[in-house]
């Protein structure tokens, strides 16, 4: 089965959320293929009534789902992983068709969904609390973790499947149910993914654990972040969006898990393995057409190797130009931008960089063909250029020379965002300096690995304007549960803590 076959099957089954072609009627949104600028199909928009029904369904299911033993919940997630394996290529190709990332990345994203299912299955038997010694005799004190409730999940267009899975599979084994609001730029991927998962849930009479609501910010987004029935909102998107979500949810004393912008930097020292470094930079800057939150946007190169690195990058970028095109073509290395506005934003950023003193070393033009295609750009800059402090969601790489490592680290840390960072060096001292308390201030810090391509086993997230949230691996599961401290008195007296006497 291909991505086209999967979409065709939804249309043949007369899925209530999908219509063939461009439906311009009220209540529908058209999904376009960014490679051609043409309609793929249309998706039905939910209104406030549909949102309320989804939350009510998830709330009702939560009462029983939370009481299932965590390993039993893990067994359901294991079956979801098997269902995703059966449709891995088809779902991955649908991502490429609708979002524009190359086929290998689209399939890799579904593999990431499968991997997080596997991780969650193991996690379902490891939701540990701890025992603490009480200061009172014949008392036992311990902590345990309970399911939190109905989780609201808001995802962005650039990872239309994986980010949902990071949240949903972990939340599911933790005993939560959830309501998902996907990006309106990739609704078909959300529908196909949800239908794959629901095929498992229906077989086990477990509808309501995973709810999908495709809606506008006005009708669904605002309702979601203001709804007290949703104790946690996990939101992925821009820093501007995150500030709004954080403020609204905080006003009702709810929790947020925010994954926002990342103006990521990579440092190349003069003792680095340049073969490794250049390969990492090219994928980090060009992969997903620069539309990853972990995309390499700023490159700090020590002066002694700067010209060599720039020369190698230009040669590598030359090989990419003829392989910009249809993301479903296996020879393609770079697909389109998501829409015309994204192309325009890139062009404006390049013009701004030039006005501020940046020098275009390579590319940066829009391509004269159907679809939203551009050339990746390399721009020589200085740390003082205001534009490099902004995150432009596009394949623009700013190259800045430095002399001293402390100088480069300070410049890396000088921006508002703090998601991913990397250094290439063969010096243990330099690497440890970068990873120390005085080093990178980002949530992700890599040595001799690029900024992009995090594994699901580690907690994913960043600091400062990136939002401070953590998803996926490590102990990120704790965000989806509520902690409870329990004390049991098994003696015959009632001593008070801190030695207080109250007779």
The string of DSSP codes covering 464-498 is: ETT-S--EESTTGGGGGEEEEEEEEE-SSS-PPGG
**Tokens found for residue 76:** 């359901």
**Tokens found for residue 209:** 């654990």
Straight-line distance from the first to the last Cα atom of the chain, in angstroms, rounded to the nearest whole number: 76
Segments of 227-275 assigned E as strands:
232-236, 255-259, 264-268
What's the confidence (pLDDT) of residue 1?
84
The bridge status of strand 210-212 relative to strand 177-181 is parallel
Active site residue 269: no
Around Cβ 468, how many Cβ atoms within 10 Å? Answer: 18
Q: Contact at 8 Å (CB) between 476 and 170?
A: yes
153/155 Cα distance (integer angstroms):
6
Around Cβ 94, how many Cβ atoms within 10 Å? Answer: 29
188/117 Cα distance (integer angstroms):
21
From 411, 150, 418, select the one nearest 261 (Cα to Cα). Answer: 418
Q: Which of 112, 259, 391, 471 is catalytic?
A: 259
What's the confidence (pLDDT) of residue 459?
96
The burial of 251, by beta-carbon neighbours within 10 Å (0-12 exposed, 13-18 middle, 19 or more buried), is given as exposed
Q: Contact at 8 Å (CB) between 298 and 264?
A: yes
54/152 Cα distance (integer angstroms):
11
Helix or strand run (H / E) with residue 151: strand 150-154
Look-up: residue for tokens 């480069």? 408
The pair phi, psi for residue 471, each rounded to 5°, is -120, 170
Q: Contact at 8 Å (CB) between 95 and 109?
A: yes
Provide the 8-state DSSP code for 229.
T
Q: Using one digit for the tens of pLDDT, what is the confidence trace for 314-354?
A: 999 999 999 999 999 999 999 999 999 999 999 999 999 99
66/125 Cα distance (integer angstroms):
15
What's the confidence (pLDDT) of residue 454?
87
Around Cβ 461, how many Cβ atoms within 10 Å? Answer: 27
400/380 Cα distance (integer angstroms):
6
Q: Which of 113, 269, 293, 442 is catalytic?
A: 293
Active site residue 293: yes
What's the confidence (pLDDT) of residue 243?
97
Q: Record the pTM.
A: 0.96
Q: Contact at 8 Å (CB) between 395 and 286?
A: yes
Per-residue pLDDT of the chain (503 residues; tens, 9 = 90+): 888 888 888 887 889 999 999 998 999 999 999 999 999 999 999 999 999 999 999 999 999 999 999 999 999 999 999 999 999 999 999 999 999 999 999 999 999 999 999 999 999 999 999 999 999 999 999 999 999 999 999 999 999 999 999 999 999 999 999 999 999 999 999 999 999 999 999 999 999 999 999 999 999 999 999 999 999 999 999 999 999 999 999 999 999 999 999 999 999 999 999 999 999 999 999 999 999 999 999 999 999 999 999 999 999 999 999 999 999 999 999 999 999 999 999 999 999 999 999 999 999 999 999 999 999 999 999 999 999 999 999 999 999 999 999 999 999 999 999 999 999 999 999 999 999 999 999 999 999 999 998 899 999 999 999 999 999 999 999 999 999 999 999 999 999 999 888 87
What's the confidence (pLDDT) of residue 182?
98
446/425 Cα distance (integer angstroms):
11
Dihedral over alpha carbons 425, 431, 434, 438 (to 10 degrees): -140
Within 124-173, where are the H helices?
A: 162-173
Question: Rg of the chain's alpha carbons, rounded to an integer?
Answer: 24
What's the confidence (pLDDT) of residue 422?
98
What's the confidence (pLDDT) of residue 14?
86
């Amino acid at each position: 089965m291909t991505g086209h076959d999967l979409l065709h099957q939804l249309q043949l089954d007369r899925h209530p959320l999908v219509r063939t072609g461009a439906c311009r009627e009220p209540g529908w949104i058209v999904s376009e293929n960014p490679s051609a600028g043409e309609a793929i199909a249309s998706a039905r928009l939910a209104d406030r009534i549909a949102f309320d029904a989804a939350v009510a369904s998830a709330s009702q299911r939560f009462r029983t789902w939370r009481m299932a033993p965590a390993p039993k919940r893990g067994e359901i997630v294991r079956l979801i992983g098997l269902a995703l394996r059966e449709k891995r290529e088809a779902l991955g190709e649908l991502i490429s068709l609708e979002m524009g990332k190359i086929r290998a990345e689209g399939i890799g994203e579904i593999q990431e969904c499968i991997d997080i299912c596997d991780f969650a299955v193991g996690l379902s038997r490891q939701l540990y609390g701890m025992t603490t010694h009480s200061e009172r005799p014949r008392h036992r004190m311990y902590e345990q973790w309970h399911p939190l409730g109905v989780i609201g999940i808001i995802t962005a267009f650039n990872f239309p499947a994986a980010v949902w899975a990071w949240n949903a599979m972990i939340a599911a084994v933790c005993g939560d149910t959830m309501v998902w609001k996907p990006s309106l730029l990739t609704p078909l991927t959300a529908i196909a993914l949800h239908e794959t998962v629901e095929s498992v849930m229906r077989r086990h009479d477990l509808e309501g654990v995973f709810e999908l609501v495709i809606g506008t910010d006005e009708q669904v987004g605002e309702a979601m972040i203001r709804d007290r029935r949703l104790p946690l909102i996990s939101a992925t998107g821009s820093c501007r969006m995150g500030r709004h979500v954080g403020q609204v949810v905080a006003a009702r004393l709810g929790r947020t898990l925010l994954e926002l912008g990342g103006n990521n930097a990579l440092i190349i020292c003069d003792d680095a393995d340049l073969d490794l470094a250049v390969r990492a930079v090219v994928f980090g800057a060009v992969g997903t057409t620069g539309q990853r939150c972990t995309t390499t946007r700023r490159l700090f190169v020590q002066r002694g190797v700067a010209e060599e690195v720039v020369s190698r990058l230009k040669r590598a970028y030359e090989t990419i130009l003829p392989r910009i095109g249809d993301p479903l073509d296996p020879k393609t290395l770079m697909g389109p931008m998501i829409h015309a506005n994204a192309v325009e934003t890139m062009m404006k950023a390049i013009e701004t960089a030039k006005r501020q003193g940046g020098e275009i070393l390579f590319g940066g033009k829009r391509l004269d063909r159907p679809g939203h295609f551009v050339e990746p750009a390399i721009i020589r800059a200085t740390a003082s250029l205001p534009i490099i402090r902004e995150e432009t969601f596009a394949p623009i790489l700013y190259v800045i020379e430095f002399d001293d490592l402390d100088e480069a680290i300070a410049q890396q840390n000088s921006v508002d965002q703090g998601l991913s960072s990397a250094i290439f060096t063969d010096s243990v001292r330099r690497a440890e300096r970068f990873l120390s308390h005085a080093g990178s201030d980002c949530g992700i810090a890599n040595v001799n690995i690029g900024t992009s391509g995090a594994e699901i086993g580690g907690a994913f997230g960043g600091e400062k304007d990136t939002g401070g949230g953590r998803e996926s691996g490590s102990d990120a599961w704790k965000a989806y549960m509520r902690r409870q401290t329990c004390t049991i008195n098994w003696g015959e007296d009632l001593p008070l803590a801190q030695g207080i006497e109250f007779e």
